Amino acid sequence: MANKIALITGSSSGFGLLTSIELASAGYHVVATMRDLSRRAKLDQAAAAAGVTDKVDIRALDVTHSRDIATVVDTVVSDYGRIDVLVNNAGFAVAGFAEDIKLEELRLQLETNFFGTVAMTKAVLPVMRQQGAGHIIQISSIVGLQGSATLSSYAASKHALEGWSESLRLEVKPLGIQVVLVEPGAFDTGIWTQGAHMGEESKKSTSLNFKRSLRMREVIRKIPKADPIAVARAIVAIAENPRPKLRYLVGRDAKIQLAMKRLLPWKIYEKMIANFLKIDQTP
Ligand SMILES: NC(=O)c1ccc[n+]([C@@H]2O[C@H](COP(=O)([O-])OP(=O)(O)OC[C@H]3O[C@@H](n4cnc5c(N)ncnc54)[C@H](OP(=O)(O)O)[C@@H]3O)[C@@H](O)[C@H]2O)c1
């Protein structure tokens, strides 16, 4: 059989880059998209180092540009005839206390992490429906299953993605289409640096949350971050699994955090989180 075709968003760095290489190394033909082709060098180099340059086809796509989504999906189908795997990976994180985050900042967060993923999925669904098969792999987060101080916008985007994808799974499973949520804990990618957007008000010393914001940033900076290759490998294993589960938590931290949330009485759980984040200290 010809190579399976995988389409990935946000391939310029982090999970998207590594997943493109891992899928290509596993025999897939990968259409690796990124919004800024001037950032393709890292992926080109990684593909060359892995000996998969001919299996990684890099194309431009910003998931907030819905017309471009239709064009990319149409050209992938006309070039390759099918799409077996869609990995909705593109995303970033708005950070800051909810009180300081402007509505426009929250909307922008949802525009990429939620509506961008929905638009991609809706564009690919007719192709998979016609094939009677396909995997749609949504990169959610442990923060899609639990709230997180200073990440309310990000948590909202990933919780929305969780609910939407869980519902979609019920609808399209009878059509042979698998919808899967991947929920990583903390991994060492660009999302902690260039992918983290502090809300404008949060950066100002006039914010009533400024001091605890600085304290929290320090705590978050020190959180151990695992090797992101584990997530890329988990995605390949899901793509290869004809009957994947709905949810895959990836990372020891994610598993421990979710178990704590589920097992501990809420009052104890939130006290532990507050102590860890030093959020209770005034001002
Ligand atoms: N790393 C973690 O600890 C962690 C944990 C849980 C979930 N996640 C999720 O994992 C996914 C990948 O993030 P990452 O950790 O690999 O971080 P990353 O290294 O910052 O990669 C994010 C990628 O998304 C791209 N992107 C952002 N906005 C986009 C848009 N509008 N259209 C197309 N691409 C866009 C970025 O492109 P540019 O290079 O152009 O900015 C970049 O390629 C995200 O959905 C994130 O929420 C990460």
Helices (H) and strands (E) in the chain, counts: 10, 9
Report the pLDDT value the prediction gives residue 281, as an integer from 0 to 100: 62
Q: Return the DSSP state at 176.
A: T
Q: Which residues of the chain are under the pLDDT cut of 70? A: 1, 281-283
Domains and CATH numbers, the chain: 5-207+226-251 (3.40.50.720)
**Ligand 1 close to Cβ of residue 64 (< 6 A):** yes
Asked if 154 is an active-site residue, the reply is yes
CA distance 57 to 245: 29
**Ligand 1 close to Cβ of residue 121 (< 6 A):** no
> Between helices 14-25 and 229-240, what is the axis angle to 10°?
50
CA distance readout (Å), 158 to 76, 89, 138, 177, 210: 27, 12, 10, 21, 25
Q: Report if pTM > 0.85.
A: yes
Tell which atom from ligand 1 comes closest to the C-alpha of 64.
31
CA distance 187 to 223: 10
**Ligand 1 close to Cβ of residue 127 (< 6 A):** no
Question: Which residue is closest in CA terms to ligand 1's atom 44?
Answer: 91
Report the pLDDT value the prediction gives residue 220, as an integer from 0 to 100: 87
**What 3-state DSSP class applies to 6?**
strand
Report the pLDDT value the prediction gives residue 282, as an integer from 0 to 100: 58
Q: What is the token pair recorded at 111? A: 């525009």
